[in-house]
Amino acid sequence: MSDRPAHGGFSAGYAGIVRSAERAVFVKAIAADGHADSRTFLRREIRMLRAAPVGLSPRVLHDIDDEDGTALILEVVPGAHPGEPWTDAQLCAIAAEIARLAAVTAADAITPAEHSMLPHFARWKQIANDEAIAASLPRSLQRRMPQLRKMEESLPAALAGTALAHGDLRADNILIDDDRARFIDWPHARRGVPWLDGPLLVPSIEASGGPTCAETWQVLRDHGAPAATEMLPVISAFASFLWWNQAQPEIPELPGLRAFQRAQADPILRWLDELLRPIERVRQD
């Protein structure tokens, strides 16, 4: 028997391919005395995968949750992570897979987005009340703080829907085999507005050397996504989530998380600013 640990991601548990004489499986596990949040996410992933459609998510082979710890055993999903560099073919494959999810009605067991994303994705009020975090925002967004806070009020309605969303898309949670993208790591699966995954994905692409948020969104548009302006409350919410969290203390068990959030915050704040400028001009006229 041998194992090959997976790299990337932010979890304090084990994740990797374990091979025996009979087969290879993907194993995720954490001990009962391990990082509590990581165990909570693994338990949540077990529930979400049990409710997710076959073919869109990895197939569950077995799971364990007892006094010793929690483990999830999955089929091995073939493919390679995108990026390094990002290509048009990769982006189109990912956009096509998000479109598949957007067309699926999520099971009732999948948590509604307006429940799982609130209040954590509604941070503009907290940012406005924190002088240091607010002052480090781009000046144009500092001036728009009343508008951002007003937009935040519409977030619950903007998130509501019945479509399936992965909820945490980025390169290390995506595998591409030939021209098909498959999404892995599902603890943040949500039921919500179609194309919810789009705003949550695009800043990580720009942050890792790919096209800008606006350029990637155009690829999503070519596969059926709505105009970005239609998802402004979601885009604004994710920007507030990233900007607030990147300024919080490091989590010892999850090294690199704050830097990763900071790297995404910069492109999504620029994109948010770009999207708000035409609206501001219309109001001034």
Domain positions in the chain are 2-74, 88-284
CATH number 2.40.10.330 given to 2-74: no
Distance, C-alpha 77 to centroid of its chain: 19
Mean pLDDT in residue range 129-143: 96
DSSP state, residue 228: G
- Judged against a pLDDT cut of 80, whether residue 216 lies above it is answered with yes
Nearest Cα residue to 271 out of 225, 236, 244: 236
- Between the alpha carbon of residue 111 and those of residues 107, 159, 195, 205, the distances in Å are 9, 12, 16, 26
Band (3; pLDDT cuts 50, 70, 90): low
pLDDT given at position 60: 93
The mean pLDDT of the chain is 92
Q: Does residue 85 have a cis peptide bond before it, meaning omega lies within 30 degrees of 0?
A: yes
Query: Is residue 97 within 8 Å of residue 165, measured between CB atoms?
Result: no
Which two tokens mark 233? 């409350």
pLDDT given at position 139: 95
CATH-assigned architecture of domain 88-284: Alpha-Beta Complex (3.90)
Query: Could you report the per-residue pLDDT of 226-239, keeping only the tens digit for each?
Result: 999 999 999 999 99
- Judged against a pLDDT cut of 80, whether residue 203 lies above it is answered with yes
- Between the alpha carbon of residue 220 and those of residues 36, 93, 171, 246, the distances in Å are 36, 10, 16, 27
Which two tokens mark 161? 């829907």
With b for 16 or more beta-carbon neighbours within 10 A and e for fewer, the 153-177 pattern comes to eebbebbebebbbbbbbbbbbbbbe
Alpha helices in the chain (DSSP H): 36-51, 88-102, 113-116, 124-128, 131-135, 139-143, 145-152, 155-159, 197-207, 213-222, 232-246, 257-284
- Judged against a pLDDT cut of 60, whether residue 157 lies above it is answered with yes
